[in-house]
Chain A
């Protein structure tokens, strides 16, 4: 199944921010948990969140950054879409 627009943008963002030597197609949006797959540290998570806020014009809740290492790209995309829907 093709990635949603948000998931696709998130993959590119993740590759850029984490300087990953991967293509978007190599990232499984449903299964790749951030910490487990990408070794995302808390400061990396902060940087990723900053880029997400700028890219999607949303404000991420305080507690969400802490949960980031345990979520997948699909989870994150759903969260962003919820924020965008709330306006």
Chain B
């Protein structure tokens, strides 16, 4: 049980990669805080599943774009479980549109959720980790969109590239305190987020050398690795989990 006694906070934990990450950490003994914004039912279902399997979890609502809400999320986590050892900044959204037709509000929503959300969660959780004085782990979920050009993904790609830059800067800032900061960069992953996109199996086979999209659990495995003791000497890095799509 790699994470026995550890408390992990997963933003956007109610579905997709976030959900798989919550289940993975619980399976390996962590106490899991499943953060959600709108999907209370799904978050509570994950908590129920974890508890049925003998694990410990709770669901907490917070919009990661809202500083007051994030601060409260972190305070409630600390009050309930007394410490926070691992933060997974997973909450993210995507909206596609060509740049000339990109709606400004959509741009703001993507940047606020995918980038500002990472900043706010890191800001408040790092305060807790610094005061604890114990080794902490922060894992940000980026995307291969940060490295590869895709039409209509300008806002999403920009937000994820910024997350990578933020990861490196934060890693340097927190290294002397024993807190590592890394990113996992998933390629196409079978989640709700891509369900509405035009991605045929033929297209996937053409783009991805391994010939398929990732399962969310495969991304969660990489996140868990970076959160583990085995990754203690890794910081400021991006672990791409993309089936060879980007090398």
A contact set with B: CB distance below 8 Å:
43, 46-47, 50, 53-54, 59
Contact = CB atoms under 8 A, between A and B. Distances in A.
Interface in B11-63: none
7 cross-chain pairs, A with B, having the tightest CB-CB distances, nearest first: A50-B130, A53-B131, A54-B131, A54-B133, A47-B176, A43-B173, A50-B177
B94 to A, nearest CB: 31
A50 B131 contact: yes
Given A43-B173, A43-B176, A50-B130, 9 more contacts: A46-B173, A47-B176, A50-B131, A50-B177, A53-B130, A53-B131, A54-B131, A54-B133, A59-B127
B129 to A, nearest CB: 10
13 contacts: A43-B173, A43-B176, A46-B173, A47-B176, A47-B177, A50-B130, A50-B131, A50-B177, A53-B130, A53-B131, A54-B131, A54-B133, A59-B127
Nearest to B175: A43
B144 to A, nearest CB: 31
Contacts of A53: 130-131
Contacts, number: 13
Contacts of A47: 176-177
A9 to B, nearest CB: 17
Interface string B111-147: 0000000000000000100110100000000000000
A46 B173 CA distance: 9
A59 B173 CA distance: 19
Contacts of A59: 127
Contacts of B131: 50, 53-54
A1 B155 CA distance: 60
Contacts of B130: 50, 53
Contacts of A43: 173, 176
A23 B127 CA distance: 30
B210 to A, nearest CB: 41
Contacts of A50: 130-131, 177
Among B130, B133, B177, the most chain A Cβ lie within 10 Å of the Cβ of: B130
Interface string B159-183: 0000000000000010011000000
